[in-house]
Amino acid sequence: MLNFREIAESVLKKPGVFLDETRLYPEYVPDVLPHREEQFKQLTKLFKHVVVMPGSSSARVILYGPLGTGKTATAMSFGRVIARLAAERGVKLRYVHVNCAGAKSALSVLREIKNQLGLSVPDRGLSFSEFAQALLKEMDSEDLYAIATLDEFDSVLYSFRKEERYSLIRFYDIFHAEKLRLNFIYVSRMRPSEVIRTLDEVSEGYMMRNTIVFSPYKSGELYDILRYRAEGAFYPGVVGDDVFGYIANLVGYDTGGDGSARKALAILYAAGKLAEREIEEGRASRVLVEHVRAVSASEDMSLVHVLDSLNYLGLHHLLLLKAVALGLRETGGDYVNIGYVEEIYRRLCRGMGLEPRRHTQVYYYVTELASRGIVMTRKSMKGRRGRSSYVSFGAAPLDSLLSALERAIAVRREVGE
């Protein structure tokens, strides 16, 4: 019987594929973002005043684009660089990144900003207005400036009350200050026309004034991204250019795909894991196009998109998705009635001791999930009477999806969302 040291040594001696597989994870932010230089330059121009004339104005910029187009990575890379450049010029600037998918209110968003800035503002007993004023006062005393990215801002636009949306978009119209220390980046998957429908006329002007568009990646761009990320993720010589080209053509927007770098990287990662198993068994020596084909056949491409989205959704969004999956499995249809989905959702909430969201809120959640491309909706179905709404996941395998949803729900419960 082998001892633990011998087991560890045997694993270390086996031929490997991955040098650092975390470089292919969705949350990994690389030092270089191929084909996002122009968007980075636009961000720098719009926030130049924060470094050159800090406090003179407050920038509000919206980053728009579908899933996997580099919005979050660009915002985080920009924040990292601009904070460093500001420090070199004696400006105390910090970057914070808030995922709004799990946020319950505008106050919870400000609390997260406060926590990431490390400021000593009481968390309890203050209204939104009182908390905001205390936050600004503390920033004054620390001579601190901040750029706050509100990621998944669609959740705010769809589920927050009108006055809360207003307060996060037009912050300094409400809270006047001599120095404007807080700046915002809003990250959205909604088209500008969809954003407009959720806002009043004045707020619309604020949001649309500075918009940076992130278009889906073309196959040539994805090839460059895959090759760059593979350099640090795989051992040299393990993955060939043919693999990058095949995946790029599979996912590229100009070759019939959705242009998502997240999806392309997820496919490369899955192909690498499959190759790793075959190498250990002596059936392969490197990552091949055949591994990509096998992954594409066994793991539906729509499922890759949905699974990647789960990390950015709140608990009730996840429970609603689970209700959709259960409804589809129970009925055996390609679409399920939203009314039946809501029944299952309420049952899931009661089983977990949670208060279900109201009917209007559930409808907003479905609309929001559809706008992100996570679910598909229809207003009517052939052969079914009456006017009703139906929802589906498309071709995504339900068993794999339900397993992933169970894991994501468990994580949200552990962190107390």
Q: Which pLDDT value is given to residue 404?
A: 82
Number of residues written out for the chain? 417
Is residue 247 helix, strand or coil? helix
Residue-range definition of the domain harbouring residue 243: 217-299
204 and 224, same domain (yes or no): no
70 and 105, same domain (yes or no): yes
- CA-based R_g, the chain, Å: 23
Q: Where on the phi/psi map is residue 386: left (φ > 0), alpha (ψ -120 to 50), or beta?
A: left
Mean pLDDT of 220-236: 96
135 and 46, same domain (yes or no): yes
Mean pLDDT of 75-101: 95
Q: Which pLDDT value is given to residue 4?
A: 65
**CATH code, 80:** 3.40.50.300
| Assigned domain for 23 exists | no
Exposed, middle or buried, 177 (CB in 10 Å: 0-12/13-18/19+)? middle
Q: Is the CB of residue 233 less than 8 Å from the CB of residue 18?
A: yes
* 301 — pLDDT class (breaks 50, 70, 90): low
**CATH code, 350:** 1.10.10.10
Mean pLDDT of 304-319: 78
| Assigned domain for 304 exists | no
Q: Is the CB of residue 139 less than 8 Å from the CB of residue 182?
A: yes
61 and 205, same domain (yes or no): yes
| Assigned domain for 19 exists | no
Q: Is the CB of residue 393 less than 8 Å from the CB of residue 296?
A: no
Lowest mean pLDDT among 248-262, 276-290, 339-353: 276-290
290 and 141, same domain (yes or no): no
Write out the DSSP string of 64-80: E--TTSSHHHHHHHHHH
More reliable by pLDDT, 394 or 165 = 165
Lowest mean pLDDT among 44-58, 65-79, 201-215, 377-391: 377-391
Instruction: State the CB neighbour count (10 A cutoff) for residue 68.
Output: 29
357 and 286, same domain (yes or no): no
**CATH code, 284:** 1.10.8.60
To 5 degrees, how large is the angle CA 246–CA 404–CA 381? 85
| Assigned domain for 6 exists | no
Q: Is the CB of residue 76 less than 8 Å from the CB of residue 61?
A: no
| Assigned domain for 331 exists | yes
Q: Which pLDDT value is given to residue 26?
A: 78
- Cα–Cα distances in Å, from 158 out to 303, 363, 364? 24, 10, 6
Lowest mean pLDDT among 113-127, 159-173, 175-189, 389-403: 389-403
Exposed, middle or buried, 267 (CB in 10 Å: 0-12/13-18/19+)? buried
Write down which residue in 213, 241, 275 finishes a domain: 213
Q: Which pLDDT value is given to residue 153?
A: 87
208 and 236, same domain (yes or no): no
Token pair listed for 207: 């949001």
180 and 253, same domain (yes or no): no
Which alpha helices (H) appear in 252-334, and where do they start and end?
Answer: 261-280, 289-298, 301-309, 315-331
Mean pLDDT of 284-297: 87
How high is the mean pLDDT of the chain?
86
Write down which residue in 184, 213, 242 finishes a domain: 213
Percent of the chain residues past pLDDT 90, beyond the cut:
50
Q: Is the CB of residue 356 less than 8 Å from the CB of residue 323?
A: no
229 and 199, same domain (yes or no): no
* 266 — pLDDT class (breaks 50, 70, 90): confident
Q: Which pLDDT value is given to residue 411?
A: 78
Q: How many whole angstroms from its chain centre is CA 230?
A: 22
Write the pLDDT tens digit of every residue in 92-148. Answer: 999 999 988 767 789 999 999 999 999 988 878 899 999 999 999 999 999 999 999
> Can you tell me which residue has the tokens 């593979």?
230
Q: Which pLDDT value is given to residue 184?
A: 96
To 5 degrees, how large is the angle CA 36–CA 41–CA 46? 130
Q: Which residues contact 327 (CB under 8 A, 6 or more apart)?
A: 336, 337, 340, 341, 344
Token pair listed for 338: 């939203």
CA distance 157 to 365: 11
pTM of the model: 0.76
Write down which residue in 169, 191, 213 finishes a domain: 213
Q: Is the CB of residue 260 less than 8 Å from the CB of residue 216?
A: yes
Lowest mean pLDDT among 6-10, 48-52, 165-169: 6-10
| Assigned domain for 380 exists | yes
231 and 209, same domain (yes or no): no
Most confident of 62-66, 75-79, 210-214, 261-265: 75-79
Exposed, middle or buried, 216 (CB in 10 Å: 0-12/13-18/19+)? buried
Is residue 413 helix, strand or coil? helix
Q: Which pLDDT value is given to residue 353?
A: 92
CA distance 315 to 352: 11
59 and 156, same domain (yes or no): yes
Domain count, the chain: 3
Nearest residue to 313 via CA among 249, 388, 373:
373
199 and 241, same domain (yes or no): no
| Assigned domain for 1 exists | no
Write out the DSSP string of 116-132: HHT----SSS--HHHHH
More reliable by pLDDT, 152 or 340 = 340
CA distance 166 to 128: 12
Write the pLDDT tens digit of every residue in 9-35. Answer: 655 555 578 999 889 887 889 989 999
| Assigned domain for 31 exists | no
* 279 — pLDDT class (breaks 50, 70, 90): confident
Q: Which residues contact 135 (CB under 8 A, 6 or more apart)?
A: 110, 113, 114, 119, 121, 182
